[in-house]
Amino acid sequence: MRRVFAATFLSLAISVSTSALAQNLSVLDEQPAVSTTDENGVDLLTGKIADYAFEVSIGNVADPAITAVVRRNPGSSAKSGTPFFGKITGVHCSDLTIATWCNHWRNVEFGSYSKWFWRDSYETPFKNEYGETYAVESGLHVVTLKDGTRVRFDPSKSPAPDNADPDYELGRLLDITKPNGEILSYAAWSTLADGSQRASYVRTNKGYAVRFRGAPHNDNRYLNLSQTYCTSDGSCDSTIEIARSTKTTATSALLDPKGAQATLGCTIVSSTDTVCSAVDRAGRPYQWTNRLFVHHFSPMHSFHYHAVISVTRGGQSTNYAYQFSWHERWGGEVASTTATYPNGETRTATRNSGITVKDGNGPETHTGLLYPAAPPEYKSGESEPSFIVYPEGNRLDYEYDSRRNLTLVKLTPKPGSGLAAIESSAAYPVTCDNIRTCNQPTYVLDAKGNRTDFEYSPVHGGVTVETLPAGANGVRPLKGYTHAPSSAGVHSASGVVVND
């Protein structure tokens, strides 16, 4: 992980976090992410709280096989982690005059991923603003993401079509195959009241799994399959598990591998407010209040938005006040947030042409946002920074190609410093003939003009040849890479290692 810049104002960091590109491509980083989350875990631009005391990850620390958020509550940003459910839907048209328009749209959802795909005609493929694609292959609905990840949805798991439902379901999440060969498979399907099916078992070929158990257990079991045997139908030897989470109507709890437990209970106290009380794994109590904000466009139309209005830790409270912008079609979003901390200091985050963060009456940090191009019927909530201007005038500028790949990072020093700007850049294929490789750089240039070139496997997208900058002798060294598939074995009930 490389950090280009981190500007800290009190305890809120607006940082440009940039992880190295695959296979140590550290000269130019991936697209930066701007964080407006404060020390309480509240994102000032969404009003949602991220509570890491209730997250569990199993597998490699740097790249966990499975990550889950144990609880759900109205004020939490709790859709992160491994998706345990996903679906793809179309738009049902009862009006034949707009049937052609409806047939050109698909909505894909799994975990925190939610995007619309469209096509210009029946002869062209479905795509989104990032160049990701959707198609039907061998009866399954397949989405190919920007990094080459393939996500498949099975139509046989969906409920029967309902003509009264404007959004009809086309398939449910079946498996996810990542470019590195990791596969998440969804199994042990049970039939629900509407005739649809839902998986109760997720496993990876890295040797980890999660089993979801309903009543009377109401828990999730996080398993290391090299120690715990689970058959393909989700039946598991219960003698060893990594962690367990439970959920009832009133409370949620997480028991981690060291025996520490975090608990959470949320209570509705009024028509608009819900109070959540928690104890983290270190035994420290805290609580927050979620409020439901409602905006009425007409007697028949309104939009709802949940946001955290207070957080109390150690007897000290922080309060959050919001201004919203409402759109008759897209609903509401936070336009600005003012947080007032226990010592009386304030912090404001405003969404305008970009993001402006200001501590009290002090200087501002402004980030310009660049939204991807999309049809007017579609509104993307995602954006990338186009620039960041810091309080003393130093700035970072970013440029992207048509598929939102970061192609240039320019650091301009403070005015009057006499220092020159520094640039790093990367080049990508102009057209995307192979999604496994087209969003990886063909070469990168660092701030000193040193060039590194890359070649990739068209099959899995991994680096096969890396040509390094020339040394003192003028020769450019070469590195070659080979890739081989691997799969974790598991212990059977009799202690034999098998590839179940």
Across residues 354-361, what is the average pLDDT?
A: 72
CA distance 151 to 320: 38
d(CA 454, CA 467): 6
Rg (CA), the chain: 25
282 burial type by CB count under 10 A (0-12 exposed, 13-18 middle, 19+ buried): exposed
Does 128 score more than 90 pLDDT?
Answer: no
Q: Which of 146, 77, 74, 87 is nearest to 114 (CA)?
A: 87
Q: Quickly state the pLDDT bin for 191 (edges 50, 70, 90).
A: confident
Q: What is the pLDDT of residue 319?
A: 97
| Banded model confidence at residue 19, pLDDT cuts 50, 70, 90 | very low
Residue range 341-354: average pLDDT? 83
Neighbours of 33 (CB within 10 A): 12
Rounded to an integer, the average pLDDT of 23-43 is: 62
Rounded CA-CA distance 465/13 in Å is 38
Higher pLDDT, 402 or 75: 402
Split at pLDDT 50, 70, 90, the class of 85 is: confident
For 32-162, where are the E strands, in sequence order?
Answer: 33-34, 55-59, 64-69, 86-91, 105-110, 113-118, 126-127, 133-137, 140-144, 150-154
List, in order, residues 6 or more apart from 176 with CB less than 8 Å away.
83, 110, 149, 150, 151, 152, 183, 184
- Write down the pLDDT at residue 500: 52
- Pick from 52, 94, 87: nearest CA to 69: 52
Widest Cα–Cα separation across the chain = 77
* Poorest-pLDDT segment among 46-50, 102-106, 424-428, 450-454: 102-106
Can you tell me the mean pLDDT for 176-201? 85
pLDDT in the model for residue 8: 28
Burial of 222 (0-12, 13-18, 19+ CB in 10 A): buried
SS3 100: helix
pLDDT tens track for 254-290: 887 677 888 888 889 999 999 989 888 888 999 999 9
Lowest average pLDDT, out of 25-29, 122-126, 132-136, goes to 25-29
Confidence of residue 221 (pLDDT cuts 50, 70, 90): confident
Give the pLDDT confidence of 294-343 residue by residue, as tens digits: 877 666 667 788 899 999 998 999 999 998 887 665 566 788 899 999 98
Q: Is the pTM of this model over 0.85?
A: no
Residue 68 in this model has a pLDDT that exceeds 80 = no
Highest mean pLDDT among 296-300, 351-355, 416-420, 491-495: 416-420
| Average pLDDT value over all residues in the chain | 76
Confidence of residue 20 (pLDDT cuts 50, 70, 90): very low
Span 54-75, average pLDDT: 62
- Among the ranges given (229-238, 246-255, 302-311, 437-446), the one the predictor scored with the smallest mean pLDDT: 229-238
- In terms of average pLDDT, the best of 86-90, 98-102, 121-125, 495-499 is 86-90
Mean pLDDT value across residues 66-90: 65
Q: Quickly count: other Cβ atoms within 10 Å of residue 299's Cβ.
A: 6
